[in-house]
Each structure stands twice: as structure tokens, then as C-alpha cells.
């Protein structure tokens, strides 16, 4: 297989668009998600349109054993991954003490544990051959606490911190680690998280644009990519570190509130 990208959460949204971007570069793919029908449809389209090879792995990454099962299946198939793209994740709206704990536990398992486990499992192979790229999809939510999405924002803060830490650990190798931080993006996330009617998602950016930004940043070995923000939002983010924390918290909460 040509340079293989493993993409989690590839059945829709940013993950699906990342698959298109990589296939356009004539790279082969391993696409992972829970929904087999969507994955098989994407496989057929990419192979037909771009002449690449696509392997489908149907897996629920909220299950602790899933990352190792994915790796083992690829080893048995003789597939070596060059680009690891940890995209799968979800959020959820509501006060922490009122939300269903099982849902938040699954969120942590997917957004943090699966991403970290996949990185830990695949990275030794990257180091052994001294090549490879990792793209971890975080969020601009990583840079502030998130009232009404306390767990989601916290998981994305972990992703950025983790990505940058291991990037520095790998400074003397040919391996790069990039954190992609999209703003509000047109994906299934808004619907599944209950945020469709919030101010934040009224003028969301396209997942295609975000995917292109992230992929380009990964290829260029960038440490951090912020995508899908208007100028006013970028200015607001720039002032966050200098603003009173209570004011920031109130502003973030208001953005999460359903209109």
C-alpha cells in the first residue's frame, strides 16, 4: 500500500473530509468508525474516484480494547500506518451534575483514552523506522473552560497538551505531532451534542475547509493549527489570557446556551 493514513471517526464530518483529502494525494487509507454502511460507501467512492486502496475497520472506540484490536488487525494484514489521524470524538450539552454519567464516561474514553492509546500503540513503530505523522483533532474549546460542556472542553485541553508534549519528546526524530483546533464546524457534532440552536453554531465553517487546514498542517509538521474562526473570534481568543476569568466563563456559558 502507498502511504497509509489511519483515520478514526471517518464516517462523517471532518474525518470523512480528511479521507477525501488524503485519497486525492493518492494515499491509501484505513478508515475506522462504528457505522459500517457509511464506511463501506466511503470506501467504494474513494477507491473508484481516486484509485486508492481503503481498508474498513468497524470499531467502537469507547471500548478500551478497541485500539489494540485495530493495531493487531493491521499487523495481521501487513499494513503499516504512516499517518495516524485521531479524529473521533463527541461532546454533550448540560450541567455536569445533571448529565448522564455513562455518556460523559464514554466521552472521556473516546476523546482521551482511545486517542492516547492509539498514539501509544502506533508510535513505537514510527520511532523504529524514524518516520510518521500524527494529527490529533482537538478544538478551540481546548483554550478555555467550558461551562455547560465541562467534560468536552476538558478532554480537548488534554489533547492539545498531550500532543505538544510528545511533539517535543520527538524533537530529534522525523516524526511530527500536530493538534488541529477547529472552531464551530458543520458536522454531526452540533446535533449529537445538542448545540444546533446555540449562538456558537449558527455560522459554522465547513468540515472540508477544516480538514484541508488540518491535513496541510500535518504534512508541514506544524505544532498547532487553528481553523474555522472569524477575525472577531480570533481577536477574542487573543484577549482570553488577559481577561478576568469569571468574565471569560460567563461569555463561554452564554455561547453554549440554547437560543
Answer whether residue 234 shows pLDDT above 80.
Answer: no
In this prediction, residue 38 carries a pLDDT of: 98
| Phi, then psi, of 86 in degrees rounded to 5 | -90, 95
Closest CA to 160 of 76, 239, 222: 222
Q: Which residues are annotated as catalytic?
A: 152, 156
CATH superfamily of 4-256: NAD(P)-binding Rossmann-like Domain (3.40.50.720)
Answer whether residue 194 shows pLDDT above 90.
Answer: no
Q: Which residue has the higher pLDDT, 241 or 3?
A: 3
Residue 36, classed as helix, strand or coil, is helix
Residue 179, classed as helix, strand or coil, is strand
Q: Which residue has the higher pLDDT, 254 or 25?
A: 25
pLDDT tens digits for range 135-169: 999 999 999 999 999 999 999 999 999 999 999 99
In this prediction, residue 183 carries a pLDDT of: 86
Q: Is the pTM of this model over 0.85?
A: yes
Lowest average pLDDT, out of 85-94, 127-136, 202-211, goes to 202-211
**Other C-beta atoms lying within 10 Å of the C-beta of residue 69:** 12
pLDDT tens digits for range 43-52: 999 999 999 9
Q: Which residue has the higher pLDDT, 239 or 207?
A: 207
Q: Which residue has the higher pLDDT, 208 or 201?
A: 208
Amino acid at each position: 500500500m502507498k502511504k497509509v493514513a489511519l483515520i478514526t471517526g471517518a464516517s462523517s464530518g471532518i474525518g470523512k473530509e480528511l479521507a477525501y483529502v488524503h485519497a486525492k494525494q493518492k494515499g491509501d487509507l484505513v478508515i475506522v468508525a462504528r457505522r459500517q454502511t457509511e464506511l463501506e460507501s466511503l470506501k467504494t467512492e474513494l477507491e473508484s474516484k481516486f484509485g486508492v486502496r481503503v481498508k474498513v475497520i468497524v470499531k467502537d472506540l469507547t471500548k478500551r480494547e478497541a485500539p489494540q484490536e485495530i493495531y493487531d488487525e493491521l499487523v495481521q494484514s501487513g499494513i503499516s500506518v504512516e499517518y495516524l489521524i485521531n479524529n473521533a470524538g463527541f461532546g454533550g450539552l448540560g450541567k455536569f451534575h445533571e448529565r448522564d454519567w455513562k455518556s460523559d464516561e464514554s466521552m472521556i474514553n473516546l476523546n482521551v483514552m482511545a486517542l492516547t492509546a492509539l498514539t501509544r500503540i502506533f508510535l513505537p513503530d514510527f520511532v523504529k523506522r524514524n518516520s510518521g505523522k500524527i494529527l490529533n483533532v482537538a478544538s478551540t474549546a481546548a483554550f478555555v473552560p467550558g461551562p455547560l460542556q465541562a467534560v468536552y472542553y476538558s478532554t480537548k485541553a488534554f489533547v492539545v497538551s498531550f500532543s505538544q508534549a510528545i511533539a517535543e519528546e520527538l524533537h530529534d526524530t522525523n516524526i511530527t505531532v500536530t493538534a488541529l483546533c477547529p472552531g464551530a464546524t458543520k458536522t454531526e457534532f452540533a446535533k449529537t451534542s445538542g448545540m444546533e440552536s446555540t449562538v456558537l453554531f449558527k455560522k459554522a465553517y465547513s468540515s472540508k475547509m477544516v480538514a484541508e487546514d488540518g491535513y496541510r498542517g500535518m504534512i508541514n509538521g506544524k505544532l498547532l493549527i487553528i481553523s474555522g474562526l472569524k477575525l472577531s473570534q480570533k481577536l477574542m481568543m487573543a484577549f482570553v489570557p488577559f481577561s478576568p476569568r469569571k468574565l471569560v466563563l460567563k461569555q463561554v456559558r452564554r455561547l453554549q446556551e440554547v437560543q
